[in-house]
Amino acid sequence: MTAGNTVLEVDDLTTRFHTQDGVVHAVNGVGFELRAGEFLGVVGESGSGKSVTMMSLLKLIPMPPGEIVGGTAKFEDDDLLQLAPDKLRAVRGAKIGFIFQDPMTSLNPVLTVGKQLTESILLHTDATKQQARARAAGLLELVGIPDPIQRLKNYPHELSGGMRQRVMIAIALACDPKVIIADEPTTALDVTIQAQIIETVRELRERLNTAVIWITHDLGVIAGLADRVMVMYGGKVVETAPVKQLYAEPQHPYTQGLLGSLPRLDQKGQQLVNIKGQPPSLYSEPTGCSFAPRCPHAFERCLNEVPPLVEVGHEHAVACFWNTETGAPRDV
Amino acid sequence: MSDATIAPDQPAPTELADGDTLLRVRNLTKYFPITKGLLARTVGHVRAVDDVTFDVIKGETLGLVGESGSGKSTTGRVMLQLDKATSGTVEFDGRELTKIGSGELRRTRPRMQMVFQDPHASLNPRMTVGSIIGEPLVEHTNMSKSDRRSRIGDLLDIVGLDAKHANRYPHEFSGGQRQRIGIARAIALNPDFVVCDEPIAALDVSIQAQVVNLLEELQDELGLTYLFISHDLSMVRHIADRVAVMYLGKIAELTDVDRLYTRPRHPYTQALHSAVPVPDPSIESARERVILTGDIPSPANPPSGCVFRTRCPIATDRCAAEVPEFRELEHGHWVACHYADTEQAQLVDELITPA
Ligand SMILES: Nc1ncnc2c1ncn2[C@@H]1O[C@H](COP(=O)(O)OP(=O)(O)OP(=O)(O)O)[C@@H](O)[C@H]1O
Ligand SMILES: Nc1ncnc2c1ncn2[C@@H]1O[C@H](COP(=O)(O)OP(=O)(O)OP(=O)(O)O)[C@@H](O)[C@H]1O
Ligand code: SF4
Ligand SMILES: [Mg+2]
Ligand SMILES: [Mg+2]
């Protein structure tokens, strides 16, 4: 849980898709750091570039139409974006685990859960078959699956949605990765099942020293899990801060709007803030702040210059020309 | 009527809530057959809705919450007679709908409308927005073409779209705008009652508030009554006056929104509340939680007795043997749990501990 050295350092990552309708500027110069054992929440609305950012790091996007135009991703002295395919394959699954939203698309339907787990262990470690099987059962137990030895014999379709997602977590954990990237792992689940998974992840955090990047559009889920939050909009990071800081003193007008537009289970009757307008089109490269057309504070500079991400407090950075606290332009 | 109770197959009392009742739903049940083989032999039934009883009061928003497959949409569809009830009755403004003829039903239709979850799937891609919104006007009124055109313009205006957009096609609109089109169509005939089936679930968080604010404004202006179906408990708390919680085809609890969220009595409602994360880190880190174990059983094979018992933290032998009555614990607070009025049923002291 204690955040240590930087394990992953991403800088200026830019990814585009060349489609029939034009170039989609999906990720526009994203940079962030992840420390050992840290839990980083990534939020932002649909299309803001959360998945493409993380998938670009491991070259999991389809290329073409995708193209990683630039940037670096430093992981253990290597730049992931420059790694040879075989070396990258060794990183994927062993040092960086990935959990997708829909486990059915990433679990192999014709192999038993046990086979999939042991294969991953055998591929990435020098365990014997017997050791791998024992470890597989241990992992299922770790993620809260009852009767793990029995369950190893099950096929994915024989498990419920929540159990499949637990299996995915077990597979991601199989080789003691340094980093786990989880892309909306509970979005498809019912809320009582989601609560079970989150509880399991919370317990695991205490026991393992894995850094986690957790993508979600649910600011509630992040509130209870993350150490730090990164807010994305229009393929850029618009704000990042320690979790309490972000919810208590959001600085970016988009973050403020987002938090204000949420109804809360513990409160009644507040008027929901309307973020007017629509999410941005990504067909042209941003020439100003992508949020400007929807922003209540936008002024001329916002339309003509892309606001840089600048430090405004301890570990708190914002990409906005307006200071909502002082009600005056920011000195950047 | 404060100590009235309703047991399955017993005649229901006439009033279940204060205020003018618009809809009276009594022992409503919908089973879907499960078929097998070439001859489509019926081998069982999905008990999508199983003996639910409630009222909808004129002008209110009744929230209907529950997890996937609990029977929310089916309840809404059967109330509107879009699906035929297996048994039970739905009385709308004094008229029993489940047995009336198609002609009479057709005359009632304009007064009851539905807004669907997926604005992409529910709008015909080959029709212009104008003809989508105008369709119910053609079907149910004798309006002249020019009257219709001006009504369509007004409707677009009401839902915050440009009247000039009538000639465009749905794909030219964003998700939030498409949902506005669906709402415009639903209110075209001045309905009394609108079932909103997850109207915001497919929308981005920043757009959800736009649509919810619109629904609230329309309710104030047009005096609409809503059944608001959602799995988002926070949004339901925001929009509803009363809330019914469904689990496996049954209503577990039904009461006004304040009581449901501050003093829920059904163990399932309590667990559901504590499963919903609150967007506030200091509250989240301090919350007491009830985490349910196990999975949601299949509605094709629901547990005996209380349907919740396989996951209920306080279940006893009695729960396996007896179906709990849906009973009025205190005035206006209905619960289906044998132990709702006991100490055990209070699983957490305070659902959300303020910081
Ligand atoms: N294979 C692809 N071809 C073309 N465009 C793509 C492709 N994959 C993603 N995009 C586009 O890139 C942008 C960013 O998408 P991304 O999936 O990262 O969004 P996201 O923030 O993960 O959204 P969501 O919350 O919906 O998952 C979107 O505009 C998307 O349409
Ligand atoms: N036409 C149908 N034929 C067979 N089974 C059906 C049909 N419609 C619904 N069901 C089943 O009835 C049960 C209740 O479904 P319903 O759609 O009412 O649930 P819901 O609460 O609206 O769920 P969700 O939140 O996923 O929309 C489910 O098990 C569903 O599979
Ligand atoms: S940079 Fe300008 S437009 Fe963008 S969020 Fe800040 S004030 Fe609004
Ligand atoms: Mg995504
Ligand atoms: Mg439904």
- At A7 the pLDDT is 93
For ligand 1, atom 25, the nearest C-alpha belongs to A46
| DSSP secondary structure code for residue A234 in this structure | T
Say what the pLDDT of residue A160 is. Answer: 78
Q: How confident is the model at residue A78 (pLDDT cuts 50, 70, 90)?
A: very high
pLDDT of residue B159: 85
Q: Is the pLDDT of residue A1 over 50?
A: no
Predicted pLDDT of residue A181: 93
Start-end of H helices in chain A = 50-57, 85-91, 103-106, 113-124, 129-142, 148-151, 161-173, 191-207, 219-225, 243-248, 253-260, 300-304
- Which strands form A316-318's sheet, in the order they lie side by side? A96-99, A179-183, A211-215, A39-43, A228-233, A236-242, A316-318, A310-313
Residues contacting ligand 2 via CB (< 6 Å) = B 32, 46, 48, 66, 68-74, 231, 299
Token pair belonging to A34: 């992840």
What's chain B's average pLDDT? 88
CB contact under 8 A, B296 and A190: yes
Using the Cα atoms of residue A115, residue A120, residue A121 and residue A122 in order, give the sign of their dihedral.
Answer: positive
In B265-332, where do the E strands start and end? 326-330
- Given a cut of 50, whether residue A253 has pLDDT beyond it is yes
Distance CA B242, CA A29 (A): 47
Q: How far apart are the first and last CA of chain B?
A: 40
**Residue B176 backbone zone (phi > 0: left; psi -120 to 50: alpha; other: beta):** alpha
A11-25, A85-99, B36-50, range with greatest mean pLDDT:
A11-25
pLDDT at B16: 62
Amino acid type, B250 = K
Is the confidence metric ipTM above 0.85 for this complex? no
Whether pLDDT at B9 is above 70: no
Which ligand has the minimum distance to the alpha carbon of residue B64?
A: 2
Bigger pLDDT: B287 vs B314: B314
For position B17, what pLDDT does the model report?
A: 64
Distance of alpha carbon B271 from alpha carbon B267, whole angstroms: 6
Instruction: Kindly tell me the burial class for residue A187, based on how many C-beta atoms sit within 10 Å of its own C-beta (0-12, 13-18, 19 or more).
Output: middle
pLDDT digits (tens, 9 = 90+) for A15-58: 999 988 889 999 999 999 999 989 999 999 888 999 999 999 99
How many Å is the Cα radius of gyration of chain A?
21
Where is pLDDT greater, at B9 or B199?
A: B199
Give me the pLDDT at residue B348, please: 64
User: Is beta strand A316-318 parallel, antiparallel or unpaired with respect to A310-313?
Assistant: antiparallel
Write out residues with Cβ below 6 Å of ligand 3: A 252-253, 289, 291-292, 295, 297-298, 302, 307, 320-322
Q: A22 vs chain B: nearest CA distance in angstroms?
A: 17
Q: Which two tokens stand for residue B257?
A: 């929104």
Beta bridge partners of residue B229, listed in sequence order: B64, B197
Q: Which 8-state DSSP code applies to residue A92?
A: B
Q: Which of B224, B255, B268, B237 is nearest to B66 (CA)?
A: B268
| Angstrom distance (rounded) from CA A183 to CA A61 | 14
Torsion-angle region of residue A87: left (phi > 0), alpha (psi -120 to 50) or beta?
A: alpha
Nearest 5°: the CA angle B68, B88, B299 is 30
Alpha helices in B188-332 (DSSP H): 205-222, 233-239, 257-262, 267-275, 281-286, 317-321
Instruction: Please give the structure tokens belonging to residue B299.
Output: 């509605």
Interval A177-230: pLDDT, tens: 889 999 988 877 888 888 888 888 888 877 788 899 999 988 999 998 999 999
pTM of the model: 0.86
Which whole number is the average pLDDT over B268-279? 90
- Measured between CA atoms, the residue of chain A closest to residue B173 is A278
Confidence of residue B350 (pLDDT cuts 50, 70, 90): low
Minimum Cα–Cα distance from B68: chain A residue: A190
Mean pLDDT of chain A: 89
B230 vs B67: CA distance, rounded Å: 9
Interface list for B 312-351 with A (CB within 8 A): 351
Question: Is 90 exceeded by the pLDDT of residue B286?
Answer: no
- Candidates B230, B243, B238; CA nearest to B332 is B243
Closest C-alpha among B80, B66, B67, B68 to residue B30:
B80
> Lowest mean pLDDT: which of A133-147, A307-321, B4-18?
B4-18
- Section B33-56 average pLDDT: 90
